[in-house]
Amino acid sequence: MFDSDGLIKMAKSGVLEVALECFNSFISQEVFDETVTEGKKFQFEDANIIEEMITNGWLQIQKYSIDKNVEGKLKNKPRLGSGEISSIHLFNSLKADAIITDDQKFIKFLESEQLPIIVPASLIHKICQFKKISKGQALSSLQKIKPLIKDDTFEKIDRKIKVGEK
C-alpha cells in the first residue's frame, strides 16, 4: 500500500503500472485526495497517471478502521499529514505487507513502530529483480526520481541494479 509520497514518486518513475501488476495495492481516500484531487488542481502529470491506475482497477481506494492504539502513539510523535495517518490505519486494517513511502518523518515513525517500509527506489529494484522491467528500464526509472530521493539511496539502489544484487 502507498502513501502519497511513495505513490507520486512511483508515478514519476514511469513504472507505477508495472509495480501495480506485481502487487495488490491500496490507498486511502486521503491519499487519493492529496495525489489526484489536489494534483489535478495544480495540473501535475502524476495525478492523471494515478487516476488512470485507479480507473483501470490496478490501484484500489480502500476504507479503513481507526486504530485507537495508533491514535495514541501519534499524539507523541512528529506531526504527520492526513495521508500518512490514514495510511497507517489502512495498513493495520488490511494487515498489509508494507507501506511504500519516501517521507522521512513518516519513515522515522514507521521504524519506531517496527513497521515494514519500502522506499520507491527499492520498489523499482524489486520489480527489476522480478524481471518485470530490464536493468536499463530500472536505471532510467531511478534516474527520473533522482532529484526527489536521498543521494545515498539513489547510489545504493543504482549500484544494486547495475550489479544485479539482491
pLDDT digits (tens, 9 = 90+) for 52-100: 999 999 999 999 999 888 888 887 666 889 999 999 999 999 999 999 9
Query: Residue 146 carries which DSSP code?
Result: G
pLDDT of residue 78: 65
Where do runs of H (alpha helix) occur along the chain? 4-13, 16-22, 29-32, 38-41, 45-55, 68-75, 82-94, 104-112, 120-129, 135-145, 151-163
Q: What residues are paired with 61 via a beta bridge?
A: 27
Q: pLDDT tens for residues 96-125?
A: 999 999 999 999 999 999 999 999 999 999
pTM to 2 decimal places: 0.94
Give the domains, in start order, of the chain with CATH numbers.
4-119 (3.40.50), 121-163 (no CATH)
Instruction: Write the CB contacts of 53 (distance below 8 Å, at least 6 apart in sequence).
Output: 11, 16, 17, 20, 59
* Cell numbers standing for residue 102: 519516501
53 C-beta neighbours (distance < 10 Å), count = 22
